[in-house]
Amino acid sequence: MYYKLKDYAALLEQHGLVTEMNMDGSREIRHLSYNSKDIKAGTLFLCKGAHFKEQYLKNAVDAGAVCYISEKKYAVDCEYILVSDIRRAMGYLVNLFFENVWEKLHLIGITGTKGKSTTTYFVRYILDEYLRDQKRPQSAVISSIDTYDGVVNMESHLTTPEPIELHTHFQNAVDSGIGYLTMEVSSQALKYGRVAGVTFEVGCYLNIGDDHISDVEHPDFEDYFQSKLKLFAQSKTACVSLDTLRVEDVLAAAEQAERKITFSTSDTTADIYAYDIRKVGNDTAFRVHAPTFDEEFMLTIPGLFNVQNAVAAISICYALGIPQHYMYVGLMKARSSGRMEIYSNADNRVVVLVDYAHNKMSFETLYQSVQKEFPNRRIYTVFGCPGRKAFQRRHDLGALSGKYSDKVFITEEDPGEEPLRNICEEISIHVRAQGCPYEIVEDRGEAIKKAINAAGGENSIVLVTGKGNETRQKRGTEYVPCPSDVEYTKRFLKEFDIKNNMDAAEKIKSFQDILPAFRKLYNKTILIKLGGSVLEDNALIQNIFEDISVLKMVGARVAVVHGGGKKISKALEAHGVETKFVSGYRVTDKTSIEIVEMVLSGQVNKAIVQGLKNSNINACGLSGKDANIITAAKKTLPEGDIGYVGEVQAVDDTVLKLLLDADIVPVLSPVSSDAQGNTLNVNADDAALAVAERLGVDTLVFITDVDGILLDVENDKTLVNYLDVAKAESLLENGFIGGGMLPKLKNCVKSIQNGVREVVILNGTVKYNLVSNFVTPRKIGTTIGM
């Protein structure tokens, strides 16, 4: 439905915004725009912006605009409505044009000086877990990092978009069948009416601190504070942190909402509060007390301070009626791109933390967290400040970085139309006042590179702040493509390792660092299960042979169990035999088992043995049938007979131990036989687990083509590096693990309980991963232990 011009005029009059008008109210408005290059027939044109020129209006009229709305009258032959506040008028106009489309969404708004993006993503992960079970589309998000509305998936420019773009996102979400949308609501958006006329089902207030105080933003702290409080007048439920400054004023403003929920990480009078906050390995555990539950939660991203954001997300989802189980699962999986992302060089000497921290509150929190979680490391900081806004940051961030850092690298961060050198030199005054060494490096990539190289002489941490995963810099009035901080960090850490490995002294030092780890491998028994794409690629399997050679050199006892499913499928197809699977098991008839044995015990086994010998490793090929190493029984399934498929009944490790004692690598095909001598195809994972238990190996390694266990299979940043049995069982119980990893993890837990010291799941497509897992301080892949 299209409204007439008189409807828009009446709406503006209703809100007391009209100062003068001259128009034909019967005109139908078919389009809204403030871009003179985006004009259609029946366009209502909005004259806004500090750089607006009369020529833009002339161009719009020539292109078909029928009326303009402005704070001033222009000498242009066109109908007009003059208003006292164009920004606030826009909010109401857009609402009418899109017919309050936001009413069809569960709309969540989050404001605060710090934590908005992380809280938004925590809520998104929780909602998406809930929606997945409901067989409904994932939720939409509008944040300072990126925007997803079911149609658009892009990097964001503004924390809260201008009204036309904002309501277009709402419309896209509704058209895509999306029911929930979580968005950051900036103080500027609230002050200038970008969300005017919109009602949030839940409005969440996190905190307040000194930021955005300038002539072009908020003239003083009080204006900033009061702008934030406007959220409550537009919220049905107000979620309020009791840990914020001026909490009494915030609570009083929250009375404007129909319902109020308080939360805290320190005040037990809150409706929802966290307690017993503690580090558990690399994770953060905490309990949450709410009116309807008192449960344990876990975060798998760094930063104890993230518990504050997690409790905010729990409060929001509690207000929405989301069951507690989805809160738990969502927070376990939650990641925010460019937030607290940690990378390190090969020997962990240099750790780089990439984060969006960009104001006083977030900097203070970041440094406090680093001091707790990375003690005794020298700190190097890379940051900049934006042009022509938030001028106080130059003092605050300069002073804080100078106070906490051993050296600061000042660089570019969206300078816009202000000379970059001027920004950097202003920051440097406040760094220098703290007595901290600094360097101005205008090229951001070069600044990150210099910081990593400077940090390389000792255990250090480099903080790269402000841009996260953003791939653009604002230079002048344009956004220019550039690598993200994450991309720079990965590149320069790799260059650092390559450069230092070429240096003889560094090689000796590296050897001194890893020698103790190598010595621990002496006489340890390591069983390696080969599978996945590794067996399909000669270069990849050669990498594994080289790693095994290193393990043998340092005195480890190594055995190999292998699969070969892809090669079996190809051989069956070549022989005209159709491949069928039932519940993940290959249906194997008489003809098929002969081909399976030929491929596994013949071709694959012999190729592995020969490859090891070519790498100067003494190896011996065997199958489960030889010397009755594996006795199996025919596997039965409720779905029916699947033929010559077996499950392990017993393992005789006599021959395997003889070979290991003789410094020979046994290479075992899983083809086995039952008590009657019938050949059976045993799953290679099952065979490896059974052999590992019988041998009592120190480490069982699954070489696969995945990085390890992911909490979210669609997000490689959710890799879990270490699991004890209790945590593994918790993940299984709560439905985190699915697909082919589900039976693997269940069996890994069983093996640990039956005497295997640790099980490791590694990506064999990455060179040296196998050896690196044993000798570098940081774990590669996923390790499961007691």
Q: What is the pLDDT of residues 525-539, one digit of tens each?
A: 999 999 867 888 888
Average pLDDT of the residues in 203-228: 88
Number of neighbours of residue 740 by Cβ within 10 angstroms: 12
Q: Is the dihedral of CA 368, 372, 374, 377 positive or negative?
A: positive
Please report the pLDDT score of residue 650 as a whole number: 96
Report the C-alpha gap between 20 and 18 in whole angstroms.
6
Which position has the token pair 């609230």?
A: 190
Number of neighbours of residue 463 by Cβ within 10 angstroms: 26
- Tokens coding 164: 């036309």
Q: Is the dihedral of CA 775, 780, 781, 785 positive or negative?
A: positive
Domain at 162, CATH number: 3.40.1190.10
How many CA atoms, within 13 angstroms, populate the side-chain half-sphere of residue 760? 22
Phi and psi based region of residue 523 (left: phi greater than 0; alpha: psi -120 to 50; beta: remaining): left
Residue 306: partners with Cβ closer than 8 Å, 6 or more residues away = 118, 284, 299, 340
Q: Which strands sit side by side in the sheet containing 782-785, from one edge to the other?
A: 619-623, 665-669, 557-562, 525-530, 699-704, 758-763, 782-785, 722-724
DSSP-derived letter for residue 302 is S
Please report the pLDDT score of residue 50 as a whole number: 81
Please check whether residue 571 is in contact with residue 742, taking contact to mean a CB–CB distance below 8 angstroms.
Answer: no
Report the C-alpha gap between 749 and 346 in whole angstroms.
29
- Tokens coding 54: 């009369």
Q: How far is CA 467 from CA 119, 196, 288, 471, 485, in A?
A: 18, 29, 32, 8, 7
- Tokens coding 510: 């590296």
Residues 311 and 346 both lie in one domain:
no
Domain boundary among 479, 501, 523: 501
Please report the pLDDT score of residue 217 as a whole number: 82
Residues 661 and 767 both lie in one domain:
yes
Question: Would you call 347 helix, strand, or coil by DSSP?
Answer: coil
Residue 295 lies in a domain: yes
pLDDT digits (tens, 9 = 90+) for 358-411: 889 999 999 999 998 899 999 999 999 999 988 999 999 999 999 999 999 999
Residues 90 and 179 both lie in one domain:
no
Residues 299 and 352 both lie in one domain:
no
Please check whether residue 152 is in contact with residue 172, taking contact to mean a CB–CB distance below 8 angstroms.
Answer: yes
How many CA atoms, within 13 angstroms, populate the side-chain half-sphere of residue 160? 23
> CA angle at residue 379 from 373 to 385, to 5 degrees?
110
- The pairing of strands 272-280 and 478-481 is unpaired
> CA angle at residue 203 from 259 to 160, to 5 degrees?
165
Residue 636 lies in a domain: no
Residue 506: partners with Cβ closer than 8 Å, 6 or more residues away = 500
Residue 594 lies in a domain: no
Residues 112 and 65 both lie in one domain:
no
Higher-pLDDT residue of 211, 592: 592
Residue 598: partners with Cβ closer than 8 Å, 6 or more residues away = 571
User: Does the pLDDT of residue 509 top 70, yes or no?
Assistant: no
Higher-pLDDT residue of 590, 513: 590
Please check whether residue 154 is in contact with residue 147, taking contact to mean a CB–CB distance below 8 angstroms.
Answer: yes
Largest CA distance in the chain: 101
Please report the pLDDT score of residue 501 as a whole number: 64
Residue 9 lies in a domain: yes
Please report the pLDDT score of residue 536 as a whole number: 83
- Domain range for 65 is 5-97
Q: Would you state the torsion angle of the CA atoms of residues 413, 414, 416, 422, taken in this order, to the nearest 10 degrees?
A: -10
Residue 632 lies in a domain: no
Residues 328 and 379 both lie in one domain:
no
Residue 235: partners with Cβ closer than 8 Å, 6 or more residues away = 109, 199, 200, 201, 202, 203, 256, 257
Report the C-alpha gap between 694 and 49 in whole angstroms.
75
Q: How far is CA 690 from CA 509, 678, 693, 695, in A?
A: 40, 20, 5, 9
User: Does the pLDDT of residue 586 top 70, yes or no?
Assistant: yes
Average pLDDT of the residues in 665-678: 95
Confidence band for 502, pLDDT divided at 50, 70 and 90: very low
pLDDT digits (tens, 9 = 90+) for 724-762: 888 888 888 887 787 777 877 888 898 898 889 999 999
Residues 69 and 183 both lie in one domain:
no
Please check whether residue 195 is in contact with residue 109, taking contact to mean a CB–CB distance below 8 angstroms.
Answer: yes
Residues 142 and 90 both lie in one domain:
no
Residues 59 and 123 both lie in one domain:
no
Stretch among 47-56, 277-286, 418-427, 486-495 having the lowest mean pLDDT: 277-286
Domain boundary among 305, 333, 361: 333
Q: What is the DSSP string of 307-325?
A: HHHHHHHHHHHHHHT--HH
pLDDT digits (tens, 9 = 90+) for 137-166: 999 999 988 999 999 999 887 788 999 999
Report the C-alpha gap between 26 and 38 in whole angstroms.
23
What is the average pLDDT score of the chain?
Answer: 92
3-state secondary structure 692-754: HHHHCCCEEEEEECCCCCECCCCCHHHECCEEEHHHHHHHHHCCCCCCCHHHHHHHHHHHHHC
Report the C-alpha gap between 282 and 373 in whole angstroms.
9
Domain boundary among 74, 97, 120: 97
Residues 110 and 91 both lie in one domain:
no
pLDDT digits (tens, 9 = 90+) for 338-353: 788 899 887 788 999 9
Residues 517 and 442 both lie in one domain:
no
Please report the pLDDT score of residue 272 as a whole number: 99
Residue 345 lies in a domain: yes
Residues 196 and 231 both lie in one domain:
yes
Which residue type does 103 have?
E
- 223 by Cβ neighbours in 10 Å (0-12 / 13-18 / 19+) ranks as middle
In the chain, the percentage of residues whose pLDDT exceeds 70 is 98
Domain at 551, CATH number: 3.40.1160.10
Q: How far is CA 269 from CA 311, 422, 427, in A?
A: 14, 48, 41
Global pTM reads 0.75
Number of neighbours of residue 734 by Cβ within 10 angstroms: 12
Question: Would you call 685 helix, strand, or coil by DSSP?
Answer: helix
Chain CA centroid to CA 43, Å: 41
Residue 674 lies in a domain: no
Strands (E), 226-383: 235-241, 259-264, 272-280, 283-290, 293-299, 341-344, 350-355, 378-383
Report the C-alpha gap between 8 and 67 in whole angstroms.
11
Please report the pLDDT score of residue 299 as a whole number: 93
- Is 586 annotated as contributing to ligand binding? yes
Report the C-alpha gap between 485 and 656 in whole angstroms.
50
- Is 564 annotated as contributing to ligand binding? yes
3-state secondary structure 519-564: HHCCCCEEEEEECHHHHHCHHHHHHHHHHHHHHHHCCCEEEEEECC
Task: Look at the chain and report how many structural domains it folds into.
Answer: 4
pLDDT digits (tens, 9 = 90+) for 372-385: 889 999 999 999 99
Average pLDDT of the residues in 466-472: 92
- The pairing of strands 478-481 and 472-475 is antiparallel
Please check whether residue 494 is in contact with residue 450, taking contact to mean a CB–CB distance below 8 angstroms.
Answer: no
Domain at 496, CATH number: 3.90.190.20
- Is 193 annotated as contributing to ligand binding? no
Confidence band for 89, pLDDT divided at 50, 70 and 90: very high
Average pLDDT of the residues in 639-658: 94
Residue 160 lies in a domain: yes
230: nearest Cα among 172, 164, 160 = 160
Residue 417 φ then ψ, to 5°: -95, 5
Domain at 26, CATH number: 3.40.1390.10
pLDDT digits (tens, 9 = 90+) for 682-715: 999 999 999 999 999 999 999 988 888 888 777 7
User: Does the pLDDT of residue 196 top 80, yes or no?
Assistant: yes
Report the C-alpha gap between 539 and 546 in whole angstroms.
11
Report the C-alpha gap between 93 and 44 in whole angstroms.
10
Residue 399 φ then ψ, to 5°: -65, -45
Please report the pLDDT score of residue 603 as a whole number: 93
